[in-house]
A = this chain, B = another copy of it.
Amino acid sequence: MAVGGTARVRRTQEARSARSRQRLLTAAAVEFATRGFAGGSVDRIARAARVNKAMIYYHFGSKAALYREILRDMFEAVSLRVGEAARGTAAPEDKIRAFVDAFATEAEARPHFPPIWFREIAEGGAHLDPATLGSMSGVLKSLGHILREGHHAGRFQPINPLLVHAGIIGPILLFFASASLRGRLERAGVPGIATVSRDDVVAHVQRVALIALEGRRRK
């Protein structure tokens, strides 16, 4: 019973530790998305997570390491999801649709994702470690794989994957990151801006990507 009690206590402490670690990650994601890496404050993160500030250094070592962990989680999840979309035996057109949908789903599920991605791009990827860089290139490679398949099947024109990539993630990131800004523009007198839904954007990007790939000739 003494042993069982000790084990139970240990389990409880471990669970509490894991929970406070997770609370810090969640609070940090919000803080960094809102204020950026430099603008984010460990004091505010600790306060929002209702965890002592020293725990940030206990769990992660530094503000930069905490930030990198968030980046890693984020890009790993995206890379995984779009990788699933690229594999399998579905038609190339359906894979493009799945790629777009997976990216948008991931961007929507993690509201901090689009703003942090934008900021990281603006900073030239200053905080990206090799693992995260690997996930980023994984996204591009998955798309390149779909494009090659489609080309070999005679259904897609050869287009540089970077252009298709930019045409997909650019609008989607922009849409999700600009939610609050669109609200302000609508109130400032630009009509019909708030009526666009997530599904509208996904459908539009899917359609545009596909007709671009089909490669109908234009003068």
- A residues contacting B by CB (< 8 A) are 33-40, 114-116, 118-119, 121-125, 128, 130, 133-134, 136-137, 140-141, 159-163, 166-167, 169-175, 177-178, 180-182, 184-185, 188-190, 192-193, 195-196, 200-201, 204-205, 207-208, 210-212, 216, 218
In the complex, what residues of B have CB within 8 A of residue A169's CB?
170, 174
Q: Nearest B residue to A212 by beta-carbon distance?
A: B208
Question: Is there an interface contact between A178 and B115, defined as CB atoms closer than 8 Å?
Answer: no
Q: A38-B39, A133-B184, A180-B124 are in contact. Are A218 and B207 (CB under 8 A)?
A: yes
A7 to chain B, nearest CB (A): 45
Bound complex: CA A117 to CA B218 (Å): 32
Q: A118-B121, A160-B195, A195-B160 are in contact. Are A174 and B184 (CB under 8 A)?
A: no
Q: Nearest B residue to A39 by beta-carbon distance?
A: B38
In the complex, what residues of B have CB within 8 A of residue A190's CB?
137, 140-141
In the complex, what residues of B have CB within 8 A of residue A185's CB?
133, 136-137, 140
Bound complex: CA A163 to CA B122 (Å): 23
| Highest count of chain B CB atoms <10 Å: which of A34, A141, A212 | A212
Bound complex: CA A33 to CA B122 (Å): 7
Known: A136-B185, A137-B185, A137-B189. 16 other contacts (CB 8 A): A34-B124, A36-B119, A119-B119, A124-B184, A125-B181, A140-B185, A160-B196, A162-B182, A162-B193, A166-B170, A166-B175, A166-B201, A170-B173, A204-B212, A208-B211, A211-B218
In the complex, what residues of B have CB within 8 A of residue A174's CB?
121, 166, 169-170, 173
A124 to chain B, nearest CB (A): 4
In the complex, what residues of B have CB within 8 A of residue A37's CB?
39
